[in-house]
Copies of this chain bind each other. A is one copy, B any other.
Amino acid sequence: MYTLEQTQEFVRKFISENKFTHEPEGLYEPIEYVLSIGGKRLRPVLCVMAFNLFSDDINNVIAPAMGVEVFHNFTLLHDDIMDNADYRRNMPTVHKKWNDNTAILSGDAMMVEAYKQLLKYKGKNFREILEVFTQTALEVCEGQQYDMNFETQLNVTENEYLKMIELKTAVLIAAALKIGSLAAESSMEDAVNLYKYGYNVGMAFQLQDDYLDVFGDFDVFGKKIGGDIISNKKTFLLISALNIAKGETLELLKSTLRDSNIHADKKIKIITDIYIQLGVDKLSTIKMKEFLDNAFIYLDKVNVSEKKKEELKKFAISLSERSN
């Protein structure tokens, strides 16, 4: 069985050795660019780790693991056009470095490449893996649609927000684990429990992401701090603040959200102060820990030795304590 670090190294090495350098350059260069920038490789690593609970032949699962990672990076590429984001992981986004059309088309090719990776998989449960992947890919699109709807939706409830991040983030992490499990021919019960572990890890991960967007450090986080505040993005923090705030604080919060002439730094300062005053930063951390605890409950149910589960436990904890 491999350690977390060994699995991460295995995935990183595979990605760096399998370049997307074909003709025409204009199509494939942006794909290679996005994939080479890096990131945590969370999904392929979790896919391989789930597989590794049941089997040591991790070369057999790298194809679907890559499929999930390529798909994830495709969604980032297209989301960045839709959000008009300038930077991703401290690097210019594809539509800024090239242009919108290039970002649209390279993204499209990238989604097909995700399936091409999946088709390299020659092991068991081929159809089942494709079905989980395809259903999940649709859910991710649905999540992005809800996220965009929230921009113009006046009241977003906590439940609506949680459903959105479930679709946009958690289900793909969950699917990565289920796919790894299916590739190792685990029982369906184990595959489902690993899916649920992944769902809860994913929910915790996204809550931490929203938290770091406000309370993180630019150099470490790799994205502009306060970006969500500037764009009035309905995050767990903002939704909670709007629910809890009363009187003058609520008025200040609402007027700041409405003020389109306010200086970005001032807006960030006012809203961050309100978050701290109301304690929604702590609420977010508590919610995140709840999901993490749930993740461990489902991991406990998986029918492999405690020792084998240690790396997945360690990984989930490191994600909850991360600063980037």
Interchain CB contact under 8 A, A26 and B113? no
Q: Is A137 an interface residue (CB 8 A)?
A: yes
- Which DSSP category, helix, strand, loop or mixed, fits chain A's interface? helix
Interchain CB contact under 8 A, A105 and B149? no
Interchain CB contact under 8 A, A105 and B78? yes
- Interface residue tally for chain A (C-beta within 8 Å): 35
Write the chain B residue with the least CB distance to A146.
B24
Interchain CB contact under 8 A, A113 and B138? yes
Interchain CB contact under 8 A, B126 and A104? no
Q: Is A111 an interface residue (CB 8 A)?
A: yes
Q: Give every chain B residue within 8 A of A16 (Cβ-Cβ).
A: none
Q: Is A251 an interface residue (CB 8 A)?
A: no
Interchain CB contact under 8 A, B82 and A104? yes
How near does chain B come to A176, taking the closest CB pair, in angstroms?
16
Of B24, B108, B127, B137, the contact of A126 (CB 8 Å cutoff): B127
Given the known interface contacts A111-B108, A113-B138, the answer about A101 and B82 at a Cβ–Cβ threshold of 8 Å is: yes
Interchain CB contact under 8 A, A105 and B141? yes
How near does chain B come to A302, taking the closest CB pair, in angstroms?
27
Interchain CB contact under 8 A, A138 and B112? yes
Q: Give every chain B residue within 8 A of A108 (Cβ-Cβ).
A: 78, 107-108, 111, 141
Q: Is A130 an interface residue (CB 8 A)?
A: yes
Q: Is A144 an interface residue (CB 8 A)?
A: yes
* 7 A-B pairs with C-beta separation under 8 A: A24-B142, A78-B105, A105-B141, A109-B141, A109-B145, A116-B138, A119-B134
Q: Is A81 an interface residue (CB 8 A)?
A: yes
Complex Cα distance A115/B100, Å?
25
Of B82, B101, B130, the contact of A119 (CB 8 Å cutoff): B130
Q: Is A237 an interface residue (CB 8 A)?
A: no
4 other contacts beyond A27-B141, A108-B141, A115-B134, with CB at 8 A cut-off? A23-B142, A26-B145, A26-B149, A109-B141
Q: What are the 3 tightest A-B residue pairs by CB atom distance, in nearest-first order?
A: A109-B141, A27-B145, A112-B137
Interchain CB contact under 8 A, B141 and A101? no
Q: Is A85 an interface residue (CB 8 A)?
A: no
Max chain B C-beta neighbours (<10 A), residue from A24, A26, A113, A130: A24
Q: Is A148 an interface residue (CB 8 A)?
A: yes
Find residues 42-96 in chain A having any chain B CB closer than 8 Å to their own CB.
Answer: 78, 81-82
How near does chain B come to A315, taking the closest CB pair, in angstroms?
28
Interchain CB contact under 8 A, A104 and B104? yes
Find residues 14-43 in chain A having any chain B CB closer than 8 Å to their own CB.
Answer: 23-24, 26-27
Q: Give every chain B residue within 8 A of A126 (Cβ-Cβ).
A: 127
How near does chain B come to A29, taking the closest CB pair, in angstroms?
10
Interchain CB contact under 8 A, B27 and A142? yes
Given the known interface contacts A109-B138, A112-B138, the answer about A131 and B104 at a Cβ–Cβ threshold of 8 Å is: no
Write the chain B residue with the least CB distance to A74.
B108
